[in-house]
Chains A and B, each alone.
Chain A
């Protein structure tokens, strides 16, 4: 018996549902406005929901990722973009302590490639009439994405990540 295919153009799409999968990882992103105030002679921070912000103010993004399944998930890469109207606040992306440390990685090319600081880019410049390639350091304010790659996220396990960005 030959296997055969049936094509019916009027049918609706379900294939993408297969491809997309279920919400096995629930991501909840929150934005907080970082403010400072004086208490008992000390400067303390207070976080408020960042519904509004002014240029120069700091927004802290917090991402909570939860494995909603009863099975472990592997190679969980959590990505927090840095909006173009903000700049990454250097050293604000915190490492994640698990069995080992999960260090944040950064991208300056829209999330195509990631690396750990200091990031380098190659530029061509003309020096003494000759074009030469030079490696220059990418400034943190040029970062476009931050990423944490967790080798394994256990059943029902949650992790929380954070970074800060300054409104341009």
Chain B
């Protein structure tokens, strides 16, 4: 509502007051929705709305019939000769808020009058001229529209005949009664019919059009009558004109007569006249026009004549046109009654016509424009939603807007029709993804459905509100066309245009090492590189600064990270770069971050390096990306804002190397024994190993091999991968003639070198003793994948938990004489579980039995099914059949006993 109103607007306001007095139409929905604005705990302004409540308006019934009258003071009187028919004119109006059916009836006066008229009939007076015209039919009820709508009232005439022979001067009273279908009735509408023998001029009036008139339209009034009395009529003295019969009509207030009236009469001299003071008349000429009705100005027809010059049956007609003001409000009524003045031979008479009521019909129209300028012609600026809105003509514009924000354009709509009207609002031109709607002038409450009803000439302020999606930017102007459409006449529309010249991103983020975020210097954002050992962790203090204009939340990730590495982001509440205590839970999203350096969030990115990681430089990058758009985490789709910092972790070289185990064995002279060792690389890079040759003090030969088939005095270039192992076989060849009991220990040294200069070494000792017996004992191992037959390692150098290892111990009599009491034992290795054992013999003669023992004392021909940890298994060959292994049991030359022990790695 403008803070000031012009006089015209005030006048319209007053008219509006009349118009709004009309009851709300039945069926109208009264919708209401509350709203709230507040400041949340984070200091952010917020709004919200309630549910909508709706109340439907019900119908009320009400009617009026005019003119009113009582039996003693009738509303209208008609005089005629006995035997003639008189006509009473009425207007029936529905003053309720819904369509109604009004039943009509007449009531005779049985107490206060002289006679009852006959032939009483109610006719619909279609043209409202107060007379019965051809084609007008009797009615007993009327269907009327609600008050304020076209067709809310209707005219009727009640015909009544004065019985023949009725003496002059006697009268009859007649009442028209109307009853609403909803109950109320109107019954104070008495009229009177009087019998006479003197002159009696009737007077009727019609208005054309008889129904609604339009603003600026013309009403043609016609007054006509006849001498229905028993004598000729005479004139009356009219000031300014002389003696004659005067037909007069006061111009309704506001109507304008611009053309000369016309008229004719069955006798006398006709003259068109007018008065400006209501008493003195003068001839009307074109130069006197226009005449505007003010309650006093009247036009008329003067029928000049002397004596009783207007005979029985003579008639007259007078007609003029009046124009309705352009700004007339719908529902404005122009009620008019004319009269004829004459002398009936004994006294002056004034016979009034029926009243005509012309009501201004509805004219719908609308204007919508920039705030404060519904009819365009706008200028100046205002601020809405944080933006400056520039008005020009019928357009408004924002020079540049940020995405992710809500834009407001204030508007003013004016009902330029002449009746209360409601209007639908629509907007077009919004790009895909924009969400546009309308709100009330409180900038909070959404508008749903039409707005109004709005009084004619009144303004309604509203907002076009558009949420610009976070993903939208563009330098092409967005033109939003707002359209207002009358709900009563959809052809009446108006548009105004809102323009957003460009949309730039409201999202931006700076991700940097601690202390450098948001400083505008991207060169210092990257954290310095760090060094660490495999299995270690590196912390990078970082900070996130929202450098956009919209609050935003960000996802944290490390797009560049070696395989197998992991990273976790820990909030650093006090931004000191040190892990908070207690250690907070790691996060993957920052939560909402308000714009500005003051609202920065700090984090510590902890990168975990797997054990065994190879030495070297590893590029690392950390990233924040806006979580505002739904696809922020979809690969290939970029978020509305993001930032990356890069650094590196240099993994140190770790050397670790073992050459195990020490071995010892016996050998005959001459004889050969082979030991098995392993080179194990526990460093984080491949080791290149060499084993120099060793020299025997006794002329023994030491040979080395990595495959058990190719032997050499020394080894070099053995590649042992990080975490891997390589078997090394040491073969000792003892020449003949060595004394029994001679023993030699030699230390083999394995030297490992690593890329980049690292080195490590380890030794393994082999101790060989010359024995006199001829029992040769060899042991070998094979590891298998699980319990399958797939070989894990041919020498058993590598096995995983659950793998099986099969140890094979072969005892052979390599001498030339029998050996006695031969027992072969093999301990159950630590960290293994017994699976099975078996033994086989060859070279024995006669019946022999393999006996098993778990303690070396008690023997059994059945292999044990279990073996406790830490114990050993014993096998012997019972050759004398006494069930035990003793000195009577012999192993002939060339015979052998093979023990096969299967265990499972724990």
Give the residues from 9 to 49 in chain A that come closer than 8 angstroms, CB to CB, to chain B.
9-16, 18-21, 23-31, 33
Let me know if A5 and B34 touch, CB within 8 A. no
- Per-residue 0/1 for B21-48: is the Cβ within 8 Å of any A Cβ (1 yes, 0 no)? 0011000101111111111110010111
B24 to chain A, nearest CB (A): 5
Contact A52 B58 (CB under 8 A): yes
Scan A45-59; emit 1 where CB is below 8 A from any B CB, else 0. Answer: 000001111111001
Q: A25 CA to B39 CA in the complex, in Å?
A: 11
Q: A6-B639, A29-B33 are in contact. List 11 more A-B contacts (CB 8 A).
A: A1-B644, A14-B470, A15-B405, A16-B467, A28-B51, A53-B57, A63-B50, A65-B36, A72-B41, A84-B453, A123-B5
**Listed A/B pairs (20) with beta-carbon separation below 8 Å:** A5-B508, A7-B473, A11-B471, A13-B435, A14-B630, A16-B469, A18-B628, A19-B550, A31-B32, A53-B56, A69-B40, A74-B39, A76-B37, A79-B35, A79-B445, A109-B3, A110-B441, A110-B460, A121-B3, A167-B55
A14-B629, A85-B28, A110-B441 are known contacts. Are A6 and B58 too (CB-CB below 8 A)?
no
CB distance from A134 to the nearest CB of B (A): 10
* Chain A residues with CB under 8 A of B59: 54
Given known contacts A4-B643, A8-B629, is B403 in contact with A23 (CB within 8 Å)? no
In the assembled complex, which residues on chain B have CB atoms less than 8 Å from the CB atom of A50? 53, 55
Q: Is the CB of A112 within 8 A of B637?
A: no
Shortest distance from the beta carbon of A86 to any chain B beta carbon, whole Å: 6
**Who on chain B is nearest to A67 by CB?**
B38
Considering the chains assembled together, what is the distance between the CA atoms of A6 and B736 in angstroms?
Answer: 86
> Judging by beta carbons under 8 Å apart, are A167 and B57 in contact?
yes
Residue-by-residue, is B440-451 near A (CB-CB < 8 Å gives 1, otherwise 0)?
Answer: 111111000000
A-B pair count, CB < 8 Å, reads 269
Cα distance A15–B47 when bound, in Å? Answer: 15
**Interchain CA distance A55-B830 in the complex, whole Å:** 100
What is the CB-to-nearest-CB distance from B228 to chain A, in angstroms, rounded to a whole number?
46
**B103, CB-defined interface residue at 8 Å:** no
Chain A residues lying within 8 Å of B646, measured Cβ to Cβ, are: 1
* CB interface residues, A 131-156, toward B, < 8 Å: 131, 133, 145, 153
Do A29 and B53 contact each other (CB < 8 Å), given the known contacts A8-B638, A83-B30, A124-B7? yes
Which residues of B come within 8 Å of A, CB atoms? Answer: 1, 3-7, 10, 20, 23-24, 28, 30-41, 44, 46-60, 97, 403-406, 432-435, 440-445, 452-454, 460-462, 467-473, 505-512, 522, 525-526, 547, 550-552, 592, 628-631, 637-646
A80 is an interface residue with CB less than 8 A from chain B? yes
* A53 / chain B contacts, CB cutoff of 8 Å: 30, 55-58
> A3 touches which one: B44, B46, B509, B550 (CB < 8 A)?
B509
B4 touches A123 (CB 8 A): yes
Known interface pairs A11-B630, A29-B33; A3-B641 also in contact (CB < 8 Å): yes
**A89 CB to nearest B CB, Å:** 14
Q: Which of B38, B406, B444 has the most CB of A within 10 A?
A: B38
Q: Which of the residues B7, B405, B441 comes within 8 Å of A109, measured between beta carbons?
A: B441
In the bound complex, how far is the Cα of B58 from the Cα of A3, in angstroms? Answer: 63
Which 10 pairs across A and B sit closest by C-beta, in order of nearness?
A111-B442, A6-B638, A15-B404, A13-B469, A27-B50, A110-B441, A11-B471, A71-B41, A15-B470, A16-B467
State which of B4, B445, B552, B629 has its C-beta within 8 Å of the C-beta of A81.
Answer: B445
Q: Which of A5, A14, A24, A81 contacts B440 (CB 8 A)?
A: A81
Which residues of B have CB within 8 Å of A3? 508-511, 522, 547, 641, 643
Set of chain A residues within 8 Å of B435, measured between Cβ atoms: 13, 16
Q: Which of A97-117 contact B (CB under 8 A)?
A: 107-112
B38 adjacent to A153 (CB under 8 Å): yes
B31 touches A18 (CB 8 A): no
Q: Which residues of chain B are near A14, meaning CB under 8 Å?
A: 469-470, 628-630
User: When chains A and B are docked, how far (Å) is the Cα of A71 from the Cα of B46?
Assistant: 14
Choice from A13, A61, A75, A77 contacting B470 with Cβ under 8 Å = A13
A44 to B31 Cα, complex, angstroms: 27
Task: Verify B57–A76 contact, CB threshold 8 A.
Answer: no
In angstroms, how far is the closest chain A Cβ from the Cβ of B453? 6
Q: What A residues does B522 contact at CB under 8 A?
A: 1-3
* Chain B residue nearest in CB terms to A16: B467
Q: How far is the CB of A9 from chain B (nearest CB, A)?
A: 6
CB-CB under 8 A for A29 and B467, given A5-B641, A75-B39: no
Q: How far is the CA of A128 from the CA of B47 in the complex (A)?
A: 49
- Which residue in chain A gives the minimum CB-CB distance to B44? A21
B-side contacts of A1, CB under 8 Å: 511-512, 522, 525-526, 643-646
Nearest-CB residue, chain A, relative to B5: A123
Q: A7-B471, A24-B48 are in contact. Are A124 and B4 (CB under 8 A)?
A: yes
Known interface pairs A65-B36, A76-B36, A110-B440. Does A15 touch B403 (Cβ–Cβ under 8 Å)? yes
Residue in contact with A112 in the complex, picked from B7, B58, B442, B592, CB distance below 8 Å: B442
Please judge, given known A-B contacts A1-B525, A55-B24, whether A15 and B35 are in contact too, CB under 8 Å: no
Note all chain A residues with C-beta closer than 8 A to B444.
79, 111
The smallest C-beta distance from A159 to any residue of chain B, in angstroms, reads 10
Beta-carbon nearest neighbor of B9 in chain A: A123
User: Knowing A1-B645, A18-B552, A52-B55 touch, does A9 contact B471 (C-beta < 8 A)?
Assistant: yes
Kindly state the separation between the CA atoms of A1 and B547 in the bound complex, as whole angstroms: 14
Given A12-B630, A54-B58: A85 and B24 interface contact (C-beta under 8 Å): yes
Cα distance, A74 to B42, chains bound together (Å): 10
A96 at the interface (CB under 8 A from B): no
Any chain B CB within 8 A of the CB of A95?
no
Across the interface, do B645 and A52 meet the contact criterion of CB distance under 8 Å? no
**List of A residues within 8 angstroms of B637 by Cβ:** 8, 11
In angstroms, Cα B47 to Cα A153, docked, is 14
- Are A109 and B461 touching (Cβ within 8 A)? yes
Residue among B30, B57, B405, B472 with most chain A CB within 10 A: B30
Instruction: Please give the distance in Å from A156's CB to the nearest CB on chain B.
Output: 13
Question: In the complex, what residues of B have CB within 8 A of residue A21's CB?
Answer: 40, 44, 46, 48
Q: Establish whether residues B440 and A31, one from each chain, have CB atoms under 8 Å apart when the complex forms.
A: no
Which one of B38, B46, B505 contacts A5 once the chains associate, using CB atoms below 8 Å?
B505
Which residues of chain B are near A122, meaning CB under 8 Å?
A: 3-4
Q: Are A6 and B642 in contact (CB under 8 A)?
A: yes
Q: How far is the CB of A80 from chain B (nearest CB, A)?
A: 5
**A51 vs B512: C-alpha distance in the bound complex, in angstroms?**
60
B4 to chain A: which residues have CB within 8 Å? 122-124, 133
Q: Considering residues A11, A54, A75, A109, which has the most beta carbons from chain B within 10 angstroms of its beta carbon?
A: A11
A111 and B441 in contact, given A3-B547, A27-B49 (Cβ under 8 angstroms): yes
Q: How far is the CA of A73 from the CA of B36 in the complex (A)?
A: 12
- Chain B CB within 10 Å — which of A27, A59, A71 has the most? A27
- Report whether B34 and A27 are in contact in the complex, using a CB–CB cutoff of 8 Å: yes
- Could you say which of B471, B552, B628 has the most chain A C-beta atoms within 10 Å of its C-beta? B471
B residues in contact with A61, CB < 8 Å: 32, 34, 53
Identify the interface centre among A1, A16, A50, A131: most chain B CB within 10 Å of its CB.
A1
